Amino acid sequence: MVTAQESAAYGLAPDERRRAARVLSGATHADLHKLWSNWAEQPEVTYLRAPEAGLVMVQGRIGGTGDRFNLGEATVTRATVLLSGTGIEDVIGTSYVLGSHPDHAGLAAIFDALLLAPEQRARVLAEVIEPLEDGQKERDASAQADARSTVVDFFTVARENE
């Protein structure tokens, strides 16, 4: 079985897996469902940890570097799967998704496991991670453009004799 600690031994850098986890958790359930239903030769999926929701404490730092403080709680859903069959050695995938979305967490864990399977990695990157990441970048750029259009520049006029 391939675990997170062993992923580097299979040619997957920790930064690459972190990037994939970010993209999968930020994708919509509909996008992941469509990609999974179109996946040829789906491996056998066994849930080691069925999707379950829980709370985490979100912490912040003043100025990004100062003392920590508790910002509030957030709901997250996690899942862990084991994939086997169709030429894939047993691989384990894990996901954490913000909110209470068990199906989303399960699909993200499946694609995480496929990413760890050396024979599937290139396909997962080309057909899943990169298209989803491009779509997320477009949505982010659009949201930033919308926000920029509402920016108000404040200025002050110095008054004489005051």
Number of residues assigned to the chain: 162
pLDDT above 70 coverage of the chain, percent = 89
pLDDT digits (tens, 9 = 90+) for 97-108: 999 999 999 999
Give how far Cα 95 sits from Cα of 22, 27, 34, 56, 123, Å. Answer: 10, 12, 18, 15, 19
* Model pTM score: 0.81
Residue 2: pLDDT over 60: no
The pLDDT of residue 63 is 85
Mean pLDDT of 146-160: 74
Give how far Cα 159 sits from Cα of 156, 162, Å. Answer: 9, 6
pLDDT digits (tens, 9 = 90+) for 60-86: 998 888 899 999 999 999 999 999 987
- What's the rounded Cα separation, in Å, for the pair 33 and 29? 6
Q: Which bin fits 74, alpha (ψ -120 to 50), beta or left (φ > 0)?
A: beta
Mean pLDDT of 4-26: 81
Residue 135: pLDDT over 70: yes
Residue 6: pLDDT over 70: no
The pLDDT of residue 98 is 96
The pLDDT of residue 1 is 47
DSSP state string for 77-90 = EEEEEEEEETTEEE
Residue type, 120: Q
